[in-house]
Amino acid sequence: MVFTLKVGPEHMNALQTMHGAFAMLLLDVLTTVTTMDLVMKPTVSVNMAGQYQGAAKPGEELVMDCRVEKAGVLDGFESIESI
């Protein structure tokens, strides 16, 4: 699934770049939505890791490609890439 977000002032930290905690929130929510679309049941996150590529500025549009790499009965493995 592909998601887009226009970065706004509500996403900024004191340096006027997108807050890192908001980036991790996006990672969590978007991978959960992608997985739920496939398995059709609620899921929980047990481990997340992210690498920051650069600082998003107000007005920039983020495009994120989320994929379910593997889904089992109790767990799944997802990836998200900024494109």
What residues contact residue 49 under an 8 Å CB cut-off, 6+ apart? none
In the chain, what are the domain boundaries?
Answer: 2-82
pLDDT value for 26? 93
pLDDT value for 83? 66
Closest by alpha carbon to 52, among 80, 31, 33? Answer: 80
Dist. CA 56–CA 62, nearest whole Å:
8
CATH 3.10.129.10 fits 2-82, yes or no: yes
pLDDT tens per residue across span 21-68: 999 999 999 988 998 888 887 777 888 888 888 889 999 999 999 998
pLDDT value for 70? 84
pLDDT exceeds cutoff 80 at 75: no
pLDDT tens per residue across span 15-31: 999 999 999 999 999 98
